Structure 1
């Protein structure tokens, strides 16, 4: 375990200077404190402050709304808080940006705030801290991301393969043979996982895999405007969406184009957001138990803090059948 003496020797400064930097003393320059924190983080130093009177965890969140019950991240945060606060932890929810990550190393941030572990939501593969997670010695749990070969990192999510296979099987039972996918760009671990699950399910059930049945785009409304008519032109009769929000947009687009759901096109979302039961028609979707995911996030952190190098926790992803899927149109 890295000590204050080790940090002092590396930097060629006194142990008292290192101690002052790590304990926020006022008689040390900001530049020196930054230098010490960066070295401490690089060497895997664990501050004694982290094991003091206050038990502190953080939820780091980016690209995910969470403040109101209708937003995807809300229940994940609440599930985590329910478990952590009952065990006496203080939890801070910290919104982040890529720019902040570029300016502040992950280890420095955690040391500076005295956090013992982090639950990370909404990161893409492009986030700077995703690279730092590969070598960190700070217990860290990722939602819908995965880091190999680091015993201090765990992940939680749902079984995308199972959920998408259930969706494809349901559509096959309704007579659909040409099933499309509309998704965000493949710059996130989870969108890649759902894309692979879609391809795997088509192959499993011996359906045609055709690039013309797939639409990938960053902007939700623009993607649906572009790809729904294009997929329909290629004879697609059902579309799986990577998220419910994209499915909502598709239902609006279909209404504007006088495409009747599910008579002309069946639609399946992913997430089971609260409003899915109240769309017109109610949305068939793959459910993520978001409260459960938050609880699993805390469970995984507890394991890591206890020295148990847990890998991944996957929850079941049931298909919730509503009225946006129906028999394939007769050709």
Structure 2
């Protein structure tokens, strides 16, 4: 176990100087502080192994809204705090951007700001810190992102395979045999996971799994103008969407085209955002209990802080039936 004394001897400075640098004292130059932080990380120093006062946790948020109750991340943050604060932790929410990730490595940032561990919301596969986390020593829990072979990280989320199985089985029970899929861009782990889970669910239910039954794009306009017409030409009678906002957009576009939901086309979303009860018609979807996701994020992080190398923590998915799905017209 690397100590502050080890770092001091490595750099030929006093133990007090190292301690000040790690705790953000203003009487240590920025150049020396950076050198100490980099050396601490290279030597494998972990604040969690010396955490007399490391009682602050961080929620990093990128590509996700969390300010208002209707925002996807809002309940996750609330759930995390509900679990963490009674256990004596302070929780800080920190917006994350490319500039921060390129300027400072993850472990260095955590040491500099005295954070014991972090929950990540919204990381994409192109993020610099997603690469840093492969060898990081500061515990981190990632919503919908998986880091292989690092005992200091945990993948947390809903069981996407179970969710897709529930959705496809429901449509199959109604008589749908041609089911399509529309997805956001495949530059995120969760979209890739749901994309693969969709085809696995088709095969599990003995339904056609032609790759042309799915389309994905970062832009809703491409999904509507390119992929939706392609699916309709293949006579699909139902479409699953990778998330509710996309499903709602598809429903509105179908209304403009004169396609009735669910009489002509059934639609299922994923997430169960608050808007799902108020779409026309109300949207059938796969629920993610976001408050429970937040609590689970803390449970996973506290386990990592205690030295228990949890790899994956998944919540069960739940199918929420509303009025956007029905039997296809040809079904008796």
Contact map agreement 1:288 1:317 (CA 8 A) in 2: yes
Secondary structure at 2:225 match in 1: helix
| Mapping for residues 1-331 of structure 1, pairs under 5 Å | 1-47=1-47, 51-53=51-53, 55-330=55-330
1:54 Cα shift?
A: 6.1
Answer whether contact 2:22 2:33 (CA < 8 A) is retained. yes
CA distance in 2, matches of 1:221, 1:76: 29
Q: 1:245 to 1:328 in 2, by over 3 A?
A: same
Deviation track 1:149-184 (CA, whole Å, cap 9, x = no partner) reads 111111211111111111101111111111111101
Distance verdict in 2 for CA 1:297–1:118, change over 3 Å: same
Q: CA deviation at 1:216?
A: 0.6
- Distance in 2, matches of 1:166 and 1:204, equals 11
> Post-superposition shift, 1:14?
4.8
| Alpha carbons 2:48, 2:305 under 8 Å: kept | no
More deviation, 11-20/23-32? 11-20
The answer to whether the 8 A contact 2:54-2:115 is kept is: no
Partners in 1 of 2:26 and 2:314 — Cα distance? 46
1:120 and 1:23 mapped to 2: Cα distance? 23
- Cα distance, 1:220 vs. partner? 2.2
Give the stretch that moved more between structures: 43-52 or 215-224: 43-52
Q: Are the aligned partners of 1:147 and 1:153 in contact in 2 as well (CA < 8 Å)?
A: yes
Deviation per CA, 1:280-326: give whole Å up to 9, x if none. 00000001011111010111111111221122111110111111011
Question: How many Å separate the matches in 2 of 1:182 and 1:252?
Answer: 15
RMSD: 1.8
Which range is displaced more, 17-26 or 291-300?
Answer: 17-26
SS of equivalent residue, structure 1 residue 72? coil
Query: Structure 1 residues 49 and 192, CA, compared in 2 at 3 Å: closer, same or farther?
Result: closer
Secondary structure of the 1:180 match is: strand
Is contact 2:186-2:217 (8 Å) kept?
no
CA apart distance, 1:27: 3.3
User: In the aligned structure 2, how far is the partner of 1:71 from the partner of 1:307?
Assistant: 33
Q: Deviations over 1:197-223 (max 9, x none)?
A: 101011111211122211110012432
Output the CA distance in 2 between the equivalents of 1:160 and 1:327: 24
Mapped to 2, the partners of 1:106 and 1:121 lie a distance apart of: 15
- Distance in 2 between the 1:71 and 1:162 partners? 24
Shift in Å, 1:16: 4.6
Q: How many residues align?
A: 331
SS in 2 for 1:215: strand
Q: State the alpha-carbon separation in 1 of the partners of residues 123 and 296 from structure 2.
A: 18
The separation in 2 between residues aligned to 1:212 and 1:77, in whole angstroms, is: 38
8 A Cα contact 1:181 1:239, kept in partner: yes
For structure 1, which runs of at least 5 residues remain unmatched after alignment? none
In structure 2, list runs of 5 or more residues that go unmatched. Answer: none
Q: Is the 8 A contact 2:23 2:113 kept in 1?
A: no
Length-normalised TM-score, structure 1: 0.95
Q: CA–CA distance in 1 between the matches of 2:93 and 2:135?
A: 23
The change in CA–CA distance for 1:117 and 1:203 in structure 2 (over 3 A counts) is same
Question: 2:237 and 2:197 mapped to 1: Cα distance?
Answer: 19
